[in-house]
Structure 1
């Protein structure tokens, strides 16, 4: 399914690469910033910080739970630790430490889960994080972020460093299409409206933001006016933006590289149900783990493409009438 006026797809850096670069910049500006990793710094890109500031970088080995405890200790001493590993390892293996050592005392720890979602590809289900947003959002006081491209990643990592309190940031393995120009304003807890429309709103995050934009182009050619909202901050969710979308377009489609339970679909639906009920449809991973394959193969197999978003838009509009 191609748009007659095909949106130009320009690939930028993977968000993990952008994270590694901006972490070095932050380290130059603030000596309180330190980095810890679980022996995956080459993949998470925190190794760039380690090369620049070897005395402020700590490799905790293949021991994610211990790494989170180390980060909590550093934060309690006034440091601003960025703790990085694969998202699936960080959230699943370290949940008790995140809960009791970081969330409970509300320490100033930044958790960065690399290789988020199923788009990391061939590594398979053991390393594909499909439940990380649900787990992170369940932690009290946590801010939860999902940048869509390298530009938003740099902006959100900087905001995370400035924010006092625990933060979870998901970064990805594949190169991400460029969405932003660099002139946009980002604020934690405030979604970015990146396309205007009157008939339906697509609310997405991460790599699905690009797919949402492509879907909006296809819909426009079919006479459907679609707004697109980048929900880069999943928690605290921008209730005002979600309510406005429901009021202005009367229908919502969510799109995410995550299980349908506990992520964008669940959090948006809660706001809509409480404040302004409208027809909704959701694109995401059903109640399953994925398998091994190329990122493109997996995104297509599990329905995380513009094609499925367009189908969801058309379906929800039928219920809107």
Structure 2
């Protein structure tokens, strides 16, 4: 049975702190909503409550890194990136410090918190930090693998995720290799390249398409958006000739742009390419189902887009 990812996040922090004395955890007044109060109780000397001051939190984390600590910081995805981007870029990236940033309630998963708390640009911003790693969590085991990787991989590591639970896609964190996509379903006609919560809707969309047509749909979980698995993308572009990217993010600057860029650079010839995600829109209040439908990333909307492409090409 799956657990809320905010709980898994704290469990992994506890595990890493138990194994490694260098771990430090920094919060932006979100201990209750992220369950990190348990970490603070268990490891008071490894925890800092920075308050609602994310730019300062990143600066403190960079300072801790400079003296040999491995900091993990958390806030809403928009506040952990957009609000303190200059500090992430300069104190983290430019200064070659080790920052592990967890951006929660990514994209539409902010639901009732609405547009002010709904990051549709965080992936794009973090991709632009030189040598950064960007991961979009699709299940508990991706989160576990991402956090373990982040401890060992010095640099700016950004992990975006819902706080809630997600159905399992994998059996173990060892099914995940950061930097390599996972083929969840084979197909020969069209490839859906998805990340984060959209992987689950992509799998459902594949079933809808195959129930209605003779087409066979491949689905790839591209959990690591940077560095991108170029070889896997080229292989499936050649195999199916049609690529659709699906992301809980603005189509500008995110997974879709990253995939389009590497495919164009690789010289692979494909029949069609389409980016599904947020199209020049801001966030809004709504249920998760409503928001996914509104921004075109529900299983039904994905299937509809795929069928339109298949009918044209």
Match of 1:95 in 2: 85
Match of 1:32 in 2: 22
Partner Cα separation in structure 2 for residue 204 and residue 106 of structure 1: 30
- State TM-score, norm by structure 1: 0.93
Match of 2:215 in 1: 224
- Higher mean displacement: 34-43 or 124-133: 34-43
Partner Cα separation in structure 2 for residue 248 and residue 106 of structure 1: 39
Partner Cα separation in structure 1 for residue 152 and residue 35 of structure 2: 20
Match of 2:302 in 1: 309
- Higher mean displacement: 198-207 or 304-313: 304-313
Alpha-carbon RMSD across the aligned residues, in angstroms, is 1.4
Matched, 1:295 2:285: no
- Higher mean displacement: 143-152 or 179-188: 179-188
Match of 1:271 in 2: 262
User: Aligned residue pairs: how many?
Assistant: 310
Runs in 1 of length 4+ with deviation above 3 angstroms? none
Gaps of 5+ in 2: none
Matched, 1:85 2:75: yes
Q: Is the 8 A contact 2:145 2:173 kept in 1?
A: no
SS in 1 for 2:26: strand
SS in 2 for 1:179: coil
Matched, 1:280 2:285: no
- Higher mean displacement: 36-45 or 72-81: 36-45
The CA deviation at 1:17 is: 2.3
Partner Cα separation in structure 2 for residue 187 and residue 165 of structure 1: 18
- State TM-score, norm by structure 2: 0.95
2:128 to 113, 117, 138: 138
Partner Cα separation in structure 1 for residue 68 and residue 59 of structure 2: 15
SS in 2 for 1:224: coil
The CA deviation at 1:77 is: 0.7
Partner Cα separation in structure 1 for residue 173 and residue 60 of structure 2: 37
Matched, 1:249 2:227: no
1:174 to 157, 160, 164: 164
Change (3 A) 1:53 1:183: closer
The CA deviation at 1:239 is: 0.7
The CA deviation at 1:291 is: 1.1
- Higher mean displacement: 160-169 or 27-36: 160-169
Q: Is the 8 A contact 1:258 1:284 kept in 2?
A: yes
Match of 2:56 in 1: 66
Instruction: Map Cα deviations across residues 218-248 of structure 1 (whole Å, 9 max, x no partner).
Output: 2222221111111111001111111111011
SS in 1 for 2:38: helix
Gaps of 5+ in 1: 1-10
Partner Cα separation in structure 1 for residue 5 and residue 232 of structure 2: 25
